[in-house]
Chain A
């Protein structure tokens, strides 16, 4: 990864190589393979602040995979000149690098630094769009919000240190986390969690999501909507593995329920698809929280599985949106009309992605949700499960609207959408991936379960 970064750095400062970026997705794929092969390994590095285990390698694999898809998606980025392309990829990879570190760090300060690395690169990435004021606006919102959230997180760390005298997660895991014994540490943990909850766009830290996605170019939004959340989820998985007290859990469960509901309600009325996805991601964050709240090896595995599913289905739908947008402009729901005629493949892929986001079987969205519901119900969060179920019903309306526009209404889009064979095949591969994860989750879930067990014992 460092090698890739340095090559990109050279590219971005040299004049001649500026637009030769076709190799980037392949490199990311290679990274995914490396992560795949290093699955069984486990080791500590950097004074035990960096741990390589099944979970971290799985998340690294996911991040590389997502990165490969995002960079492939952005290869022909319409919304900026060739001059910026190498810089763009440089920052995209830099941000991913931060996330890769994040998936392995097991010490609070290292976590914090990795998080900042990932965030700062993203702050630069987001406004890279052809002189669009909205992009800058979204970025400023994101950066200010992010600064506050990380500050709160840092403040939380200081409380944890004051209470528990260590910043190593494996040491913290053995300590008591009940409010009666360790009020300070628990408050600190809550605050530290908030930094990641913000990354995840969970209520009440969700306000940036829709604006940022809308402001950023389609390609950047695809990146920003998926990968940083993985980074947040893995840290939350690691933190929830030491089973904090019921107080923290209940608080997060309430946030989860509010996230689902508010995200869905806000999404109902959106015309800009990226805003819609922004709000829908808020509700999905609520779903992921369900698994984290449930805890235990099944709950954490379910949350990780849902993270993977979430990434794949969002990348799928963003892939379609990027293909639809002819000059990098934002796509509105009405632009989907008659998509079925202009590109049957894209319409099919869109339908698969939308139904997955609803959580209809046989897509991955359903399987992921089923695991989450099972784990939460098993832990006694009955009300949360019922809220989640009702929210699924709420979400139907706007996702179905996308499909309805694509399949039933008359055309307004240009008769032909120029899409390369490679673009088509990746779209189909993504759709099949969504179906595969829905129908045959066993192997991957197994891996996650084993990885989760490492954490707990």
Chain B
């Protein structure tokens, strides 16, 4: 289905063009205003996407132009139900990011907003790319502005955190590139839909799955590749944290669904137990570490590890409920964690500290702030009626459907979430105020209301009426599971013949010797 107006390209290139425009603007205020305007225009430009046809599993809004014919590389973009939601999330968050940096960022304002717009463009590009090389290009381009966001506007440890972030994520990506090249040589094309339709041998799938899974697992991040995340989060400025948590981490899980499950279904089934194990480890580990944090940003960063563990768990239980839950959780985590980071940023602007002990007992002085903090905390711990409840419940149902033991193993993660979030909320709201200055802090101003209220509405909307979101993605998810199903029938036969990974390694060595 070719659309007449290239909606997706506009969404990618409009922020790019706007970032070039920003170069020529001198005054700081004007830069902020223009960025905000750009963010809202971006939302307007995304409106045509609402023509998205529900109940339709194929890619829509497809654009296809030849780019490097020799290698069969095309400029090929389009969206299905899953990427549609991701694009919406990215577009929606941009104005809030501009708003929450309004007073937080005081130096090199222009460059900051240029980086943010570049980030947005690259992130949208990742979610809509239907050509493997194009996908990889966006996937890598996004690192540069993010690196700069942390390295220039970050906290005291910014040098270490930004380098760690960059090297960690790029190291994973290089193997992804090898996998892409391998797919091209084996499949003769870089086109993602075509590659999905092809059948590869199990051995090939296993190796490419591992290469891709490593890249995505670092991005998500899954335990034990998560160490860059807390460092990056704690050092990044608020908007950087928001983009990082809400959009960047989703690329990893998106990659799992789009590439691992769709292109290497046999290997996905084969490695599912491993991935489920790592996911559960992420959930439990993230929760336990979050419980022990005294720095609010670190706490939320570790809670991200746990939440993303739920997402990967939902993906690899390989059933409809689990995947639906996973995609909903991707959206939810974007909204909720983004909002929590904004709230931490807001309190930091008042107290200049992110330590819990410096911000205790502020319910009396900042009632509106605590109201929002409470709302998003409840959402984070999956309280019924909030968005995360829907996602987490679906994931757990999926896990139980998969096997009783996995379901039981994942449940403590949900309890841990309640423990660390309520501990944070309780101290923040009703702890003994240590700082007398807290009396003079102003409650939320209009700007802060402007970015928290819409997010709060979204939390409740998805929590109370998730049908629309589910309707959007279910066809695409069923399609993905169709590949898994088809391979499941094969795999039962193959599994008996297939040796363990050690056997694979041996074969690999033999083939090299030949």
Contact = CB atoms under 8 A, between A and B. Distances in A.
Interface of A: 298, 355, 360-362, 366, 370-371, 373-374, 377-378, 382-383, 385-386, 389-390, 392-393, 396-397, 400, 404, 407-408, 441-442, 445-446, 449
Nearest to A383: B512
B70 A408 contact: no
Nearest to B171: A393
B143 A408 contact: no
Interface string B75-116: 000000000000000000000000000000000000000000
A344 to B, nearest CB: 9
B167 A446 contact: no
Given A400-B147, A407-B152, A445-B70, A366 B137 contact: yes
Contacts of B182: 377, 382
A374 to B, nearest CB: 5
Contacts of A385: 178, 181
A247 to B, nearest CB: 15
B185 A378 contact: yes
Nearest to A355: B144
Q: Which of B136, B144, B151, B170 has the most CB of A within 10 A?
A: B170
Nearest to A374: B181
Contact of A374 (B71, B138, B140, B170): B71
B148 interface: yes
B203 interface: no
Contacts of B71: 370-371, 374
Interface in B159-185: 159, 162-163, 166-167, 170-171, 174-175, 177-178, 181-182, 184-185
Interface in B6-30: none
A432 to B, nearest CB: 13
Given A361-B140, A392-B174, A397-B163, A407 B148 contact: yes
A394 to B, nearest CB: 9
Given A390-B174, A408-B159, A361 B137 contact: yes
A361 B141 contact: yes
Q: Which of B141, B159, B167, B178 has the most CB of A within 10 A?
A: B178
Contact of B163 (A355, A360, A404): A404
Nearest to B150: A408
A397 B68 contact: no
Contacts of B158: 408
A305 B144 CA distance: 25
A86 to B, nearest CB: 41
Nearest to A404: B151
Interface residue range, chain B: 20 to 34
Contacts of A355: 144
B152 A360 contact: no
Contact of B69 (A382, A392, A400, A442): A442
Main SS of chain B's interface residues? Answer: helix
Interface of B: 67-71, 133, 136-138, 140-141, 143-144, 147-148, 151-152, 158-159, 162-163, 166-167, 170-171, 174-175, 177-178, 181-182, 184-185, 512
Given A355-B144, A385-B181, A390-B171, 5 more contacts: A374-B185, A396-B170, A396-B171, A400-B163, A442-B67
The 4 closest A-B pairs by CB, nearest first: A361-B137, A389-B174, A393-B171, A377-B181
B152 A408 contact: yes
Contacts of B162: 404, 408
Contacts, number: 86
B178 A373 contact: yes
B147 to A, nearest CB: 7
A329 B158 CA distance: 31
Q: Which of A298, A360, A371, A445 has the most CB of B within 10 A?
A: A360
Contacts of B148: 407-408
Contact of A389 (B69, B70, B159, B177): B177
A339 to B, nearest CB: 13
A374 B181 CA distance: 6
Contact of B174 (A377, A382, A393): A393
16 contacts: A355-B144, A360-B141, A366-B140, A370-B181, A373-B177, A373-B178, A373-B181, A377-B185, A383-B512, A386-B175, A386-B178, A389-B177, A396-B170, A407-B151, A408-B148, A408-B158
A389 B162 CA distance: 21
B184 A374 contact: yes
Contacts of A407: 148, 151-152
A446 B70 contact: yes
A360 B68 contact: no
B144 to A, nearest CB: 7
Contacts of A370: 71, 133, 177, 181
B178 A389 contact: yes
Nearest to B134: A361
Contacts of A397: 163, 167
B269 to A, nearest CB: 25
Nearest to B152: A408
A442 B177 contact: no
B22 to A, nearest CB: 13
Q: Which of B138, B182, B512 has the most CB of A within 10 A?
A: B182
Contacts of B67: 442
A441 B184 contact: no
A404 B144 CA distance: 11
A373 B176 CA distance: 12
A437 to B, nearest CB: 12
A360 B146 CA distance: 14
Contacts of B136: 361
A445 B69 CA distance: 10
A378 B184 CA distance: 9
Contacts of A366: 137, 140
A92 to B, nearest CB: 35
Q: Which of B71, B181, B185 has the most CB of A within 10 A?
A: B181
A362 B141 contact: yes
Contacts of B177: 370, 373, 389, 392
Contacts of B70: 298, 442, 445-446, 449
A113 B137 CA distance: 44
A397 B166 CA distance: 9
A445 B72 CA distance: 13
A383 B511 CA distance: 11
A263 to B, nearest CB: 16
A366 B159 CA distance: 25
A377 B147 CA distance: 31
Contacts of B181: 370, 373-374, 377, 385
A393 B71 CA distance: 24
